[in-house]
Structure 1
Amino acid sequence: MSEKNREGKRAARERLAAEREKQKAAEKRRRTLIVGASVVCVLGLAAVIGVVAANSGGDGDSDTASGPVSAPQGAAGTDKLAIPVGQDTAKSTLTIWEDFRCPACKAFEDSYRTTLHELTDAGKLKVEYHLVTLIDSNMGGSGSLRAGNAAGCAQDAGKFRDYHDVLYENQPEETDDAFSKNSKLLDLAGKVDGLTTDTFTSCVNGGKHDTWIQKSYKKFQDDKLSGTPTVILNGKTLDLNSLTPQKLKEQVEAADK
């Protein structure tokens, strides 16, 4: 491996670690404010200090999470909360809990996208994506929910992976809730061949999968997961500070033998 490639991978790991630390710091500030105001605490990135299943209706995290749930076509798992990418016959399963507004999730995707595509296309790995609204909960807004719903609509159209990649490639700054606008999400859909249809547009504008996203976030809270991205390979949570794309590839290929 060239020195340039080594430097690039080291820089990517450092960016991912830095984004996780930013999330932890933001949640620490939020917990301090919440305790001072004597209100209910929420799930943090560094520690679980309590859970709430809802936010205000304007943020898309209302009590409708307990109502009818419309899962995207092909959703997997006992509760149909995962969007699978890859072949069911793959010997390894990578579970990813992510939030489309999360900078650390973008850093992970930027570093691992090529490797994940390679392994899934080769039939060696199945990835199960769980979409949550952690940033909406921590910072306000509804971009996590709106983008998650749009990704579910893309899954209905058989275009999830392509649209998933487009969302991360065009992720706004964490404080910019640009994904809360359906018009923005529909505009980005134009970057995926064949995705922009009347059905997709209606699905996005109608929030067809909102309650499914909210249920997924509640599962994230109930399972006391520590933050996004949470990445689990064959049941084992991975340490993203020490993981590299090559190490992940080696683990998956070893299991495939």
Structure 2
Amino acid sequence: MSEKNREGKRTARERMAVEREKQKAAEKRRRALIVGASVVCVLGLAAVIGVVAANSGGDDTESESAGPVVAPSGALGKDGTAIPVGEPGAKATLTVWEDFRCPACKSFEQVYSPTLRELTEAGQLKVEYHLVTLIDNGLGGSGSRTAANAAACAQDAGKFTAYHDVLFENQPLERDDTFADEDRLIRLAGKVDGLDTPAFRSCVEDGTHNSWVAKSHEAFQKGGFGGTPTVLFDGKNIYEDRSMTPEKLKQMVQEANEG
């Protein structure tokens, strides 16, 4: 065999070896990508499961919090956990369980708030708000509780409805525990005329109603409700009724007032 032929075969073998190494490297990268993608999918699923758990009410919360239970001014109900809005003598009552970190609660408010305001101002409807901490328990943090305490402080000042609306209008992303920042809650109070006072600031910073918020959440759990928002009219959770609309709710309230 000539020297030229031997050199040609050697070069061919080298090229094949290089190609095999390239294929091995490519296969290794492919497997790494598959494993990496699987991990991402698993982590994504875990995140979804966490969100579902947070909104399902499955996690327990502490039944007590440090300090005495101090209900906000005018709180009503069996456990003293309801903040009433509207005329006390209204013939129709809507019971709303909400979490200020809950995106579904914000969606409910965006759709129904104008109708609820119209009906309460007309004296046809009374809304009883109950504040809970599902997202804190499911995703961690304390923003649900801190915001609920601040809302209770606003109730003490006679500014609950306006501040309640401001909190939902400025709701952070569900996993963002921004509402745990008391300074932010106080800054948001500046959007409500007359709310940002030394008394309100002290109430927020001292967590005056934290134990009351814990009591409210405990009442939610004992009620066996499935998630937030839970919106009860005549004992029925109308938020689960896919045919429900603000117009339909308005008609139901008007019929209750005529009856």
TM-score, structure 1 normalization: 0.78
Q: Map 1:27-66; keep pairs closer than 5 Å.
A: 29-30=49-50, 45-46=55-56, 52-54=60-62, 63-64=64-65
Deviations 1:53-85 (A, max 9, x none): 32xxxxxxx8427x5200000001121100000
What is the CA–CA distance in structure 2 between the aligned matches of 1:199 and 1:256, rounded to whole Å? 38
Counterpart mapping for 1:68-107 below 5 A: 68-107=68-107
1:149-188 residue pairs with structure 2 within 5 A? 149-188=149-188
- Structure 2 counterpart of 1:248, which letter? L
Task: State the distance in 2 between where 1:30 and 1:102 align.
Answer: 13
Separation (CA, whole Å) in 2 of partners of 1:149 and 1:237: 25
CA RMSD of aligned residues (A): 2.1
CA distance change for structure 1 residues 28 and 175 in 2, over 3 Å: closer, same or farther?
closer
| Structure 1 residue 29, shift from structure 2 partner | 1.8
1:109 aligned partner: 109
| 1:240, distance to aligned residue in structure 2 (A) | 4.3
Runs of 4+ in 1 over 6 A off after TM superposition: 25-28
Matched position secondary structure for 1:64? coil
- Aligned partner of 1:255: which letter? A
Q: Secondary structure at the match of 2:200?
A: helix
Residue 253 (str. 1) matches residue 254 (str. 2): yes
The aligned length equals 213
Question: For structure 1, which runs of at least 5 residues remain unmatched after alignment?
Answer: 1-24, 33-42, 55-61
Q: How far 1:234 sits from its partner (Å)?
A: 2.1
Give me the whole-angstrom Cα distance separating, in 1, the residues matched to 2:142 and 2:223.
22
Q: Match of 2:27?
A: none
- Asked if structure 2 preserves the Cα contact closer than 8 Å seen for 1:44 and 1:226, the reply is no
In the TM superposition, residue 45 of structure 1 has moved relative to its aligned partner by 4.0
What TM-score comes out, normalization by structure 2 length?
0.77
Normalized per residue, which structure has more helix? 2
Q: Give 1:241 shift.
A: 2.6
| Aligned counterparts of 1:27 and 1:95: Cα–Cα separation in 2 | 30
Larger radius of gyration: 2
Task: Give aligned-pair identity as a percent.
Answer: 56
Residue segments in structure 2 that go unaligned for 5+ positions in a row: 1-44
